[in-house]
Amino acid sequence: MRIWNSGLVIAFAALLASLGAARAEPRVVLTSLDGATRVEGELLGFDGENYTVRTSLGIIAVAAAQVTCAGPGCPVVISYGGRFAIQGSNTIGDGLMPALIEGYADTLDAELVRQVGGGENQRVLRLADAQGREIAVIEVGAHGTATAFPALADGSAAIGLASRRVAAAEAGLANLRGGPDEHILALGGLIVIVHPDNPVRALRLDQIAALFAGRTTSWAQLGGPELPVSLYVRDDRSGTLAAFEALVMQPSRLKIADSAERLEDSAELSDLVSIDPTGIGFTGFAYARASRPLAIRQQCGLTSFPTTFDLKTEEYPLARRLYAYGSGAAMPPHAKGLLDFALSDAAQPIIAEAGFVDRGIETQGIEVQGARLAHSLTSKEEFSLALLREMLGELKDALRLSLTFRFTAGSSNLEARSQREAERFARLLADGGYAGKDILLVGFTDSGGEFKKNRGLAMRRAQSVLDTLKASVPEGALDAVPIQVQSYGELTPVGCNETPQGRQLNRRVEVWVRDKRG
């Protein structure tokens, strides 16, 4: 670790005598703005300009303007003034971001004192302290994902919101995809919605594509009433539209019919479908409103519902990730503060309350997964009744967590989201989050290859998750946590092995918990 220079260190051991004997104080980590220097210790005081911290080197005072502070003991430091813009996805910008801004204002003990409409799907939010002094002005433009990246590139936005991942070098942003400024803000999914009284309950993706292409023109062709089909879709700037085309239309080599009514606003689209008995549309998970979502029937017969559990495991075929992109190290202070808050644990209840899918862990018993078991028993794929009995014996009293770990193609390396989730889960386990429970890491594969070899492959991947958990916390932190590694190979698929997407879903490690067995 580099020693702090004289500009950073205001006082050392001279403070020791005046502060008296050491006592337990909140711990903080101070990091220089260039990231090169880091000091950890107990925060003894903050006078608005300097942190006083007890470290292994003694007691030091550090200028707050030259460092960032992380940890439960960090004081709230309010900077005044500054205006910045957020641009992009209507799904996020209209439905979620205002709630996150309000939550961020609460962390500053600030009030959201004015919301000024600057046009359709455009708003200005002003934050002020108790004395009415302006803290920040935030402009939110929710005109579609396609508007986010040009705004980041030309500097007119500090944060970009996207309901799809940025393409390589989109808008000239060569280092954005996969870089430190790319963040998964929440999880979501596309839902296909119909009028509440429509008797059609589930459709295959190819049937949905045929509807939106105008090839299926009557609901009677799908077992519904003798009514024509009316199409409602998002506008051309929408990331929701881009995702729908990629996931539904392109695999069937079809295009959306010109007769479809196009709308910029997700809520308006859902409301129109909910009052039109002939209508069908697609929108984000948070915008079901009074319309009814359809279940998705996969080609092998598995049926998936847009539940928060299936969206968190990404086993619903139209699950997707919602992104927030930063504009780099030069972000305005409150833009960075807002983004940090939006990604924090404190923001997760706000995300859930807004109708989006947060990072909170849900549980599900094995009885809910009857369709998976039935599929294993009735499919033509290789099968072992003895192994299924073994699995049911191990998991019958357990609960599956929504944590599901997946890997980069052709490797045992966790993909980026799974890596972050493994690190978070490891900290939760180390802090006693599942005390008194057995933790089961259960590996599965697709059906490619030999049955026995697949079980071994799934076991190795489950072991790699265990290795990642142990490497994510201090050595020995998980020694007292009973974690077992198991494998059931290609049993109980969650996707169809006939498709690349289904095979990818089936290559997974699930997490189950149960009471300790005697």
pTM of the model: 0.78
Give CA–CA dist 102/83, Å, rounded: 16
Calculate ∠ Cα 230-236-240, nearest 5°: 75
Give CA–CA dist 91/121, Å, rounded: 11
Lowest mean pLDDT among 42-51, 64-73, 394-403, 499-508: 64-73
Q: What is the pLDDT of residue 129?
A: 87
For residues 55 and 128, the answer to whether their CB atoms sit within 8 Å is no
For residue 493, what are the contacts with CB-CB under 8 A and spacing of at least 6?
A: 302, 372, 375, 376, 444, 446, 447, 502, 505, 506
* Domains contained in the chain, CATH given: 14-70 (2.30.30.100), 83-186+321-353 (3.40.190.10), 188-312 (3.40.190.10), 363-515 (3.30.1330.60)
Q: Is the pLDDT of residue 313 over 60?
A: yes
Q: What is the DSSP string of 473-506?
A: SSTTTTTTS-EEEEE-TTSS-SS-TTSHHHHHHH
Q: Provide the percentage of residues in the chain whose pLDDT is more than 90.
A: 60
Most confidently modeled range among 225-234, 367-376, 492-501: 225-234
Residue 388, amino acid: L
Q: What is the pLDDT of residue 273?
A: 98
Query: Under DSSP, is residue 217 helix (H, G, I), strand (E, B) or coil?
Result: coil
Tokens 């698929």 sit on residue? 493
Q: What is the pLDDT of residue 412?
A: 75
As given in the structure block, the two tokens for residue 68 are 């960032």
Instruction: For residue 116, name the pLDDT band (cuts at 50, 70, 90).
Output: low
Q: What is the pLDDT of residue 117?
A: 60
Query: How many Cα atoms sit within 13 Å of 120 on the Cβ side?
Result: 8
Q: Is the pLDDT of residue 16 over 50?
A: no
Number of Cβ within a 10 Å radius of residue 483: 16
| DSSP tag of 29 | E
Tens-digit pLDDT profile for residues 461-514:
999 999 999 999 999 999 999 999 999 998 888 888 888 888 888 999 999 999
Number of Cβ within a 10 Å radius of residue 175: 11
- Torsion angle of the four alpha carbons 418, 421, 423, 425, in this order, in degrees rounded to the nearest 10: -130
Tokens 């813009």 sit on residue? 85
As given in the structure block, the two tokens for residue 19 are 């502060």
Could you give phi then psi for residue 129, rounded to 5 degrees? -85, -175
Give CA–CA dist 215/228, Å, rounded: 12
Q: Is the pLDDT of residue 329 over 80?
A: no
Query: Under DSSP, is residue 284 helix (H, G, I), strand (E, B) or coil?
Result: strand
- What length does the chain have? 518
Tens-digit pLDDT profile for residues 132-173:
889 999 999 999 999 999 999 999 999 999 999 999 889 999
